[in-house]
Amino acid sequence: GHTMEVRLRVNGADRTLQLAPQVSLLDALREHLGLMGTKKGCDQGACGACTVLADGERINACLTLAVQYTGREITTIEGVTDGELQRAFVRHDGFQCGYCTSGQICSAIGMLAEHAAGMPSAVTEHRHGDAELTDAELTQAEIRERMSGNLCRCGAYNGIVDAIQEVAR
């Protein structure tokens, strides 16, 4: 069928692909670029396994067309090389099967940036009664709410929240 040239910038490298216009960013990453760290769970925006960063903002790669990301800076788990969140997930048992972990980590990076930029979460007002907290801190309830788009079928949520809270400090 009809294909078009799509230029993506992925993990700091320029990549040019010939894609059908309806190819999702997720399929472009996995099937055309061989970046299998980004997972396909539901393929319809419900699980967060496919979360990547576009110019630092977290997106579900399954819901977006690759062509829409021409010229944007895409970061997948393969591009998350500092290892800080990965080590925290290991320390806090933040995964069991690991299928959701790439998406959880990319989502956590985006979430921490949103928090640092002052974007409120739905539970932010619950903080106000707690004089112990500074604005820079994230409560467990806030982390859960901000990470609610990323499902973990094993139920490793306590470890995930602990790991993210440690990195947020």
30 binds ligand FES (CB under 6 A): no
Residue of 165, 105, 157 lying closest to 138 (CA atoms): 165
Give 4's strand partners.
19
Residue of 150, 152, 61, 45 lying closest to 107 (CA atoms): 150
Q: What is the C-alpha to C-alpha distance for residues 115 and 109, in angstroms, rounded to an integer?
A: 10
Q: What is the C-alpha to C-alpha distance for residues 96 and 94, in angstroms, rounded to an integer?
A: 7
For ligand FES, which stretch binds (CB under 6 A), given 40-48, 113-121, 129-137, 139-147?
40-48
- Give the nearer residue to ligand FES in terms of CB position, either 126 or 144: 144
Do 18 and 3 touch, CB atoms closer than 8 A? yes
49 binds ligand FES (CB under 6 A): yes
Sequence-distant (6+) residues with CB within 8 A of 135 are none
105 binds ligand FES (CB under 6 A): no
Please pick, from the candidates 30, 40, 115, 127, the single residue that binds ligand FES as defined by CB under 6 A.
Answer: 40
46 binds ligand FES (CB under 6 A): yes
For ligand FES, which stretch binds (CB under 6 A), given 5-13, 48-56, 126-134, 136-144?
48-56
110 binds ligand FES (CB under 6 A): no
Please pick, from the candidates 11, 60, 86, 139, the single residue that binds ligand FES as defined by CB under 6 A.
Answer: 60
Binding site for ligand FES (CB under 6 A): 40-43, 45-50, 60, 62
